[in-house]
Structure 1
Amino acid sequence: MFGIFDKLTEFFKDMLLGGIKANLESMFLDINDKVGVIATDVGKTPMGWNGEVYNFIKNINDNVIVPIAGLIITAVLCIELINMVMQKNNMHDTDTFEFFKYIIKMFIAVYLAGHAFEFSMAVFDVAQNLVNKAAGVITTSATVSGDQIVAMVDTLKEKDVGALIMILVETSLVRIAIQGISLVITLIVYGRMFEIYVYSSVSSIPFATMGNKEWGQIGTNYIKGLFALGLQGLFLMVCLGIYTVLIRTVQVTDIHASLFSILGYALLLGLMMFKSGTVAKSIMNTH
């Protein structure tokens, strides 16, 4: 029939190959772009990430939290004064130097509570410097070139229509899965920054407890939590670095193995980024 069946077969094969190529390009574009965006966002300070949110959080701390911290400092200093008097036999064994130490402690406690927000931001300035130095070592370019995608598609030209349909379905499912993983990764990175903002908004209250031995554990644990959030940024960069190294080892000669390797690496990236906060808190011994 004038080769009509051959032409139809060729038409369907070209259409299927075009769909497979589009899926591969979309798949790699999504995850590659996401890696680049995440690498940029992780290296930003709270003020650099969103200046308006930063100003809002600072206003909350200055106008709402600092007055409450003042009340806590008053209570803590009163407890300290009572303890000092009781320990010195109701003032009978009083040493003038004890009052001098008390005044110094009072000054330091007030200073810490009044500048707690700046101290909190300083932690993330240090974390940004750490992440930027790590970025100089870690390559976050996971781009798969167009030539690699073309080479991957070229290996499929000899397959029949049925096999191409199955591969098209596979690439479509993997693309959807990677888009879902990209969304989860975005939520993890943005969620960390939201946690930083919320954590920093009440910084004056934990710092106000530092003047008392018993209550000071609140402030100590808070500071550990700040450093854990900063350290999490480094772990996110390390996860991205590991992913980019793995993704460049994918062999394009076997489409099936390549697809599931890419999916597996993307799942591993999402899982490790999800666990990064827990690992950071475990290292800093915070809860």
Structure 2
Amino acid sequence: MSDNWVVQNLENALSTWNGYLSEIWSLITTTPQNFRGGTIWTVIQNINTAVQGVGLGLLVLFFVVGMVKTCGSFADVKKPEHALKLFVRFILAKAVITQGMELMLTIFTIIQGVINTIITSSGITNPNNLALPDDIVSAIEDCGFFESIPLWAVTLIGGLVVTVISLILILTVYGRFFKLYMYTAIAPIPLSTFAGEPSQNVGKTFLKSYCAVCLEGAIIVLACIIFSLFASTPPDVDSSMSAVNQVWSYIGQLIFNMLVLVGTVKMSDRIVREMMGL
């Protein structure tokens, strides 16, 4: 690492970005069961098991309400075909509640397979690290004391912006894990709506929303892959410009690419929901 303070500041900002981008890549390929050693998943399992009692109570309620709304009279319930239909619906709804955890894990595993396929097909096992070009380093080191003063301001602002963008990016990805855990914890309650025909749309919407959260990982991976391809070629900077203009041009183009990545990641939820018609 260079002894120049300006260079060090820029390299530290890029190092922060590279570290968070690598962590994001690791998070996307991590299952909820293994995240943070599995401690959080154990608690979520306990909550899901406890909430199943509430879900089974609501199961009966939605079943009765659905039966009242769909049957014209009590005589309809006596019909074998109608009674069988109600019985099968009740059994299936109960199975969805009691086996809801396995159902959601199966959905996650399928979508995780899609994510792994995208990573394998891209040939990028890890995102490319950003590095300060040697031309920029040389231009900065050749500056005198007074010429370095505006460089300090530029690098301070640029380094701060890069750090803030990095934090926004990592928090967005962590937010996806929070949503996965919350969906899994309360799953028995919305899944209980499958017991009644009039209320089953609530359960369908819940499962679609959960699938959308899982698919956010695929959008995030695609965004990181595209950014890595951009990062493999450093921004073009005119070496005939002054050091301040070179650094400003480099940081500006870099921040623009970072903002595009962050914007795509933050909109991943909306993108997937539009794809699924939610």
| TM-score, reference length from structure 2 | 0.87
CA RMSD in angstroms comes to 2.2
Cross-structure match for 1:257: 249
Cα deviation digits, residues 79-129 of structure 1 (max 9, x gap): 344346x43x54279532222222222211111111112211222222221
Long gaps (5+) in structure 2: 240-245
1:67: Cα distance to partner?
A: 0.8
1:159: Cα distance to partner?
A: 3.9
Cross-structure match for 1:194: 178
1:157: Cα distance to partner?
A: 4.5
Once residues 152 and 123 of structure 1 are traced to their aligned partners in structure 2, the CA distance between those partners, rounded to angstroms, is 48
Contact 2:13/2:163 (CA < 8 Å) preserved in 1?
A: yes
Q: 1:156 to 1:92 in 2, by over 3 A?
A: closer
Cross-structure match for 2:243: none
Contact 1:21/1:149 (CA < 8 Å) preserved in 2?
A: no
Q: 1:92 to 1:217 in 2, by over 3 A?
A: closer
Cross-structure match for 2:193: 209
Cα deviation digits, residues 186-220 of structure 1 (max 9, x gap): 11111110111111111111111113221001101
Q: What letter is aligned with 1:235?
A: I
The alignment status of 1:47 with 2:47, answered yes or no, reads: no
Long gaps (5+) in structure 1: 1-14
Q: What letter is aligned with 2:264?
A: M
Q: What letter is aligned with 1:62?
A: T
Q: 1:226 to 1:150 in 2, by over 3 A?
A: same
Cross-structure match for 1:21: 7
1:135: Cα distance to partner?
A: 1.7
Contact 1:21/1:150 (CA < 8 Å) preserved in 2?
A: no
- Any residues of structure 2 matched to 1:216-227 within 5 Å, and which? 216-227=200-211
- State which of 77, 94, 103 in structure 2 corresponds to 1:119: 103
The alignment status of 1:60 with 2:47, answered yes or no, reads: yes
1:62: Cα distance to partner?
A: 0.4
Once residues 42 and 12 of structure 2 are traced to their aligned partners in structure 1, the CA distance between those partners, rounded to angstroms, is 37
Aligned length: 266
Once residues 282 and 121 of structure 1 are traced to their aligned partners in structure 2, the CA distance between those partners, rounded to angstroms, is 23
Cross-structure match for 2:23: 37
Q: 1:221 to 1:173 in 2, by over 3 A?
A: same
Cα deviation digits, residues 229-263 of structure 1 (max 9, x gap): 01111111111112222223323644331111112
Q: What letter is aligned with 1:52?
A: T
Q: What letter is aligned with 1:141?
A: P
Cross-structure match for 2:266: 274
Once residues 142 and 166 of structure 2 are traced to their aligned partners in structure 1, the CA distance between those partners, rounded to angstroms, is 33
Task: Give % identity.
Answer: 18
Q: Which has the larger radius of gyration?
A: 1
Q: Look up the SS of the partner of 2:130 in the other structure.
A: coil
Once residues 198 and 92 of structure 1 are traced to their aligned partners in structure 2, the CA distance between those partners, rounded to angstroms, is 40
The alignment status of 1:285 with 2:273, answered yes or no, reads: no
Once residues 191 and 154 of structure 2 are traced to their aligned partners in structure 1, the CA distance between those partners, rounded to angstroms, is 54
Q: 1:97 to 1:265 in 2, by over 3 A?
A: same
